[in-house]
Amino acid sequence: MPAPPPVTPPRGPPPPYSPRTPATPQPPIVPLLAGSGPKPYPAGDYLIVRGIYTGDLNDNPVTTLTKKMDEIAASRPDLRDVKVVVSHFGRDDVPSTSCYIRLDPDTYPRSPDSEPRVDLLEWWLTAL
């Protein structure tokens, strides 16, 4: 009886963090809190997207960018596997046309012996 043909395993998502230690010590990451107060500065593993404007002054840039990213992810399986979070740029109560994009901290927990794969955010930068 002949052996069954080999089967290629399905491709998994890319690892969110590289297994190396940062060259310089980093301060602990403070998550962006939902609220109307001032936000802390990003830790460096954020992508800032500016100029998100659809012509409606009441439009929310987070909602607009999230919809666009969902459309892109539907057609790009490599980006569908990279989980990201879209957050307001600055304060929630001040109109803005900018947002932060970062790796989802719930999907990709951070550890002290790794650093974020910023190249995954660069994939989104190229797609947007």
Give the structural domain span for 70.
42-127
More confident site: 79 or 43: 79
Q: Is residue 89 part of a domain?
A: yes
Q: Where are the alpha helices (DSSP H) in 19-117?
A: 61-75, 77-80
Q: Please give the Cα distance from 114 to 31 (Å, whole number).
A: 18
Q: Is residue 12 part of a domain?
A: no
Instruction: With beta carbons less than 8 A apart as the criterion, state whether 103 and 118 touch.
Output: no
pLDDT digits (tens, 9 = 90+) for 23-75: 666 666 655 555 545 544 445 578 888 888 777 766 788 888 888 889 998 99
Query: In this structure, what token pair is assigned to residue 14?
Result: 């890319």
**Which residues lie closer than 8 Å to 24 by C-beta, 6 or more apart?**
none
Q: Please give the Cα distance from 19 to 124 (Å, whole number).
A: 22
Q: Is residue 27 part of a domain?
A: no
Q: Is residue 57 part of a domain?
A: yes
Query: In this structure, what token pair is assigned to residue 85?
Result: 């979070």
Q: Is residue 72 part of a domain?
A: yes
Phi first, then psi, for residue 55 (nearest 5°) are 105, -10
Q: Is residue 97 part of a domain?
A: yes
Q: Is residue 55 part of a domain?
A: yes
Q: Is residue 32 part of a domain?
A: no
pLDDT digits (tens, 9 = 90+) for 81-116: 888 888 887 776 677 788 888 888 777 666 666 666
Domain count of the fold of the chain: 1
